[in-house]
């Protein structure tokens, strides 16, 4: 089995650098206790304000062998004056390797369109970052397949095969994200059906044969084994459980056992 990826999307948590350090300390201690290292890789995506410090910590001790730094967003433009934005070159200078684009909280709560997501995706690729491209329907109704199809086309519009190949695709149905009212996790079986829709678009438009797919949406220690153990997924994107130290270690324990 290939090495699985566990992406920790901290969102706008924790509140302090000290709490961030505590999560990384406990992760480091756990990694040090593993007899077989590198069964899985970790990508930590902290809030911008902690990127630099988290990046330094990831270069130490056991974390250095198994973890990398990711950002949660990127500016559409590398140089233009855009108040509040963080550009690709800035991320590069902080040794950021991955960047989340198109997260549903940005799409739905901040009105980020697929056109803007597409520009951010291009900015990530231009700056040699690996985009973690989030896709997912808001409601699983009779139109969800068409929704996912259209969202995939618009999000990847204008990219070359080589560029699409460099992306990690995260299927994250909005209704499964823990902060959505009444959220419940998807099952691997139904999530794979959705991944199939995305994959079909990428094959038909870009002749893409190999790409990497993650699942995200209420991943916890209760369901991590199902998703990490399924060969249809290359890993998971973990939100709220990634800032709960004990729960996160439980997820890593499962990944270490696979
Ligand atoms: P969740 O978040 O694990 O809290 O559902 C996942 C995400 O929003 O990326």
Tell whether pTM > 0.95.
Answer: yes
66 sits in the region (left: phi over 0; alpha: psi -120 to 50; else beta) called alpha
The ligand 1 atom at the shortest distance from the C-alpha of residue 242 is 3
Nearest to 183 by CA among 229, 148, 136, 147: 136
For the question of residue 13 being annotated catalytic, the response is: no
Q: Which of 68, 105, 112, 172 is catalytic?
A: 172
> How many angstroms is it from 81 CA to the middle of ligand 1?
31
The pLDDT of residue 37 is 62
Report residue 121 as tokens: 């995706």
> How many angstroms is it from 78 CA to the middle of ligand 1?
28
Report residue 207 as tokens: 């002749």
Q: Whose CA is nearest to atom 9 of ligand 1?
A: 239
For the question of residue 38 being annotated catalytic, the response is: no
Ligand 1 contact via 68 beta carbon (within 6 Å): no
The pLDDT of residue 39 is 84
> How many angstroms is it from 207 CA to the middle of ligand 1?
30
Report residue 30 as tokens: 């756990």
Instruction: State how far the Cα of 92 lies from the Cα of 88, in Å rounded to an integer.
Output: 6
Q: Are 220 and 248 in contact (CB under 8 A)?
A: no
> pLDDT 10s per residue in the chain (258 long)?
579 999 999 999 999 999 999 999 999 999 999 976 678 999 999 999 999 999 999 999 999 999 999 999 999 999 999 999 999 999 999 999 999 999 999 999 999 999 999 999 999 999 999 999 999 999 999 999 999 999 999 999 999 999 999 999 999 999 999 988 899 999 999 999 999 999 999 999 998 877 899 999 999 999 999 999 999 999 999 999 999 999 999 999 999 998
3-state SS, residue 75: coil
Q: What are phi and psi of 139, to 5 degrees?
A: -130, 140
């Amino acid at each position: 089995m290939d090495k699985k990826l566990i992406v920790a999307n901290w969102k706008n948590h924790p509140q302090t650098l000290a709490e961030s350090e505590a999560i990384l300390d406990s992760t480091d201690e756990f990694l040090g206790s593993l007899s077989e290292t590198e069964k899985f890789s970790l990508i930590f995506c902290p809030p911008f304000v902690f990127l630099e410090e988290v990046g330094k910590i990831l270069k130490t001790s056991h974390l250095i062998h198994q973890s990398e730094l990711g950002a949660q967003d990127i500016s559409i433009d590398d140089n233009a004056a855009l108040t509040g934005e963080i550009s690709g070159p800035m991320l590069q200078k902080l040794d950021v390797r991955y960047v989340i684009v198109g997260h549903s909280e940005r799409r739905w709560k901040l009105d980020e369109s697929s056109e803007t997501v597409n520009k951010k995706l291009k900015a990530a690729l231009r700056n040699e970052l690996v985009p973690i491209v989030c896709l997912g329907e808001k409601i699983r109704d009779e139109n969800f397949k068409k929704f996912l199809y259209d969202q995939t086309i618009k999000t990847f519009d204008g990219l070359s095969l080589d560029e699409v190949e460099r992306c990690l695709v995260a299927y994250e149905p909005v209704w499964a994200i823990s902060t959505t009212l009444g959220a419940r996790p998807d099952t691997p079986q139904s999530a794979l059906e959705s991944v199939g829709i995305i994959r079909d678009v990428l094959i038909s438009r870009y002749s893409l044969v190999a790409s990497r797919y993650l699942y995200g949406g209420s991943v916890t220690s209760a369901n991590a084994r199902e998703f990490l153990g399924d060969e249809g997924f290359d890993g998971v994107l973990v939100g709220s459980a990634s800032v709960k130290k004990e729960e996160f270690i439980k997820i890593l324990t499962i990944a270490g056992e696979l």
